[in-house]
Amino acid sequence: MNETKCPICESTSCSVSKKNDRDKIYPQYYGKCKICGLVSVGINFWREVVESREMKRSDLLGYLRRHSFLREQRGVDHPSEINSIADLTDGIVYPSTPIEQVYMLIEYIACKQEALIDYVEFDESKDYTICFAKNKTDLCFLIDSAHKEGYWEGFEFGGNPVFPCLDGIELNDIDKRIKLTFKGWTKYHELKEQSPLSKQVFVAFDFKEKYLMKNVYIEAIRPAIYECGLTAVATSDIEHGKSITDLIIASIRKSRFIIADVTYASQNVYYEAGFAYGLGIPVILTCKEDNAKDDMKFDTNHIKHIIWKDAEDFKKKLINRIEAEGLVQRK
């Protein structure tokens, strides 16, 4: 296709155009853009969300680029079909800090860098959406800050790929290439093991005890996590054909944080919480008020628990704690 002005981001580096398929309910903007990535976006949805200013344009573009990147890494050659805010945010973690934006850049470079000595080319005017940066200047700030932390280096003598200019900072005009350092690769593999870019929350509880906690999980824990823009995974949710312990450990590693309810003092729950603590993954401990005296063991009773009375009380307190800890994901 010939390059035209993108109807989504309004850049000219794209092949995105209107597409009407008879088997599609919604007409789409479909194609590939250097800013948006490979996209299929409902035209009516896009117009409504932009006109209502329900979300900043830079965030909208960030979600689209992230969808495109993740599907590319999975070997999927067609875009996600986006017709609602739920479609747009599904499976995508919005970075709540500049550190998480840097993590996204590390992940991007690692996936694009074919060999340890290779470099990845950047264009700050188009690639700022990779990590939800607001504009090219914000991207350069992140690249500069992460270079100072030793995560990557520029092409010229391993120097800083960013330099001062009249408008602030920008990438080196001579060669806009970056590669990860050993420290950067180490961080990348740490992120693969325990990802802060995950929307998953692992929930540990004694689901065998007269099914009481399973009901509480369904009525309180899972809805609270969902209202915070996250996804709950519990042992009882995991389908397995091999060692369930291995799958639990893998699930914990992939989680943003875990919730461990110690009601009935299950050894499995304490083990799973301890494993997460050892990895540095945040843990929220909870316990039913009637059981707190007996079930909150010596090793953890000094740690602040959510003490709950019933499912309604639990849900409210859990949402408050997730928000207070800065773990919520509502973008």
Question: In the chain, which residue ranges form alpha helices assigned H by DSSP?
Answer: 43-52, 57-73, 85-89, 98-112, 124-127, 136-148, 182-193, 212-216, 222-227, 244-253, 267-279, 292-295, 311-324
Our measurement of the distance from residue 249's CA atom to the centroid of its chain's CA atoms, rounded to an integer in Å, reads: 19
Whole-number pLDDT of residue 324 = 86
Q: What is the distance between the alpha carbons of residues 98 and 8, in angstroms, rounded to a whole number? A: 25
Contact present, 26 and 44 (Cβ < 8 Å): yes
Q: What is the distance between the alpha carbons of residues 152 and 182, in angstroms, rounded to a whole number? A: 8
Residue 306, token pair as written in the block:
């959510």
pTM score > 0.75 for this model?
no
Strands 200-204 and 257-261: parallel
Contact present, 264 and 290 (Cβ < 8 Å): no
Whole-number pLDDT of residue 173 = 67
pLDDT tens track for 140-156: 999 999 999 999 988 76
Beta bridge partners, 154, equal 178
Whole-number pLDDT of residue 1 = 46
**CB neighbours of residue 325 within 10 Å:** 11
Domains of the chain: 17-89 (no CATH), 98-193 (1.10.10), 200-324 (3.40.50.450)
Q: Note the residue count of the chain.
A: 331
pLDDT tens track for 229-260: 888 998 766 654 455 577 788 888 888 899 99
Whole-number pLDDT of residue 253 = 83
Burial grade of 18 (CB within 10 A; 0-12, 13-18, 19 or more): exposed
Could you tell me which residue, 233 or 210, shows the higher pLDDT? Answer: 233
pLDDT level of residue 174 (50, 70, 90 thresholds)? low
Beta bridge partners, 164, equal 169
| Average model confidence (pLDDT) across the chain | 84
